[in-house]
Amino acid sequence: MKVRNVCEQDLMRKSGVIAAKALKRATEAIKVGVTELEVDKIVTQEIYKQGGDLSYKSVPGYKYATCITVNEQVVHGIPTDRKFESGDVVSVDLAVVYKGWHTDCAWSVLVSGQGTGDSGQLEKTKFLKAGEEALWDGVAQAIDGNRVGDISSAIQERIEKNGYSVVRSLVGHGVGRSLHEDPEIPGFGEAGKGPVLKSGMSLAIEVIYTSGLPDVVLEKDGWTFSSADKSLGGLFEMTVIVGKKEPKVLTHW
């Protein structure tokens, strides 16, 4: 729960610019016929080109730039040679380290192709819109004097109002000198509860949700979490710095 000084914030901001560019490239690259590994490669090249390094290398046993999840998969998917298909809901999660400072972000998109626009696709668009709105609702609470629970409850309210569920077993987190720091930032909880936020704290706010029930199961690969009921998984994450009047979002393009 550290407050970052101006110098440190500047380095985190630079780390965030790299992450944002890489995430933008990734979402643009997700098209019918493209593989997860191809997207991971694009992200890797973009991060290196910008002078950053892969934060996920700091996770023991993990060697990719990204986690990529499709449809009922929710988080921590290892990139494979699976090809995206029209109508897939795809999430990309990535983190950058720049001069020792980590930033973490994720986004979800719908793969469009022939035959899009049917009712199933409209449902998926609505699902993704709710996740993005929940993210911005949560981010807006990252203000000096607020509490972690204010972020959590804002996210939960938006997700549940739309008829979806926040996953309970996976949470957002502090970020900075390492990828995962204190405090935990759940996407569910009560306003006014939890640790007090101070200007200069750096947080990875995450909306991890499903279109059905909140339960997730670990797949056989030992990494990927999928929804237990096979409903859609969505993931939106931004690294922010808590501000006096408004937060600074570091990883948005």
User: Contact positions toward ligand MF3, by CB under 6 A?
Assistant: 56, 59, 62, 67, 76, 93, 95, 104, 206, 237
Among Co ion, ligand MF3, none, residue 56 binds (CB under 5-8 Å by kind): ligand MF3
Residue whose structure tokens are 């990927």: 224
Taking CB under 5 A as the binding criterion, the range among 26-34, 102-110, 163-171, 216-224 that sits at the site for Co ion is 102-110
Shortest spacing between CB 16 and ligand MF3, in angstroms: 14
Torsion, CA 38, CA 116, CA 210, CA 207, rounded to 10: 60
Shortest spacing between CB 208 and Co ion, in angstroms: 9
In three-state secondary structure terms, 92 is strand
Helix axes 119-140, 148-161, angle to 10 degrees: 160
Residue 112, both tokens = 């469009």
**Of 103 and 146, CB closest to ligand MF3:** 103
- Residues whose CB falls within 8 Å of the CB of residue 195, separated by 6 or more in sequence, listed in order: 1, 147, 148, 183
What length is written for the chain?
253
Size of the site for Co ion (CB under 5 A): 2
* Residue in 203, 204, 235, 241 binding Co ion, rule: CB under 5 A: 204
Looking at residues 129 to 168 of the shown chain, list those that interact with Co ion (rule: CB under 5 A): none
Instruction: Please report, as ranges, the residues that interact with Co ion according to CB under 5 A.
Output: 104, 204
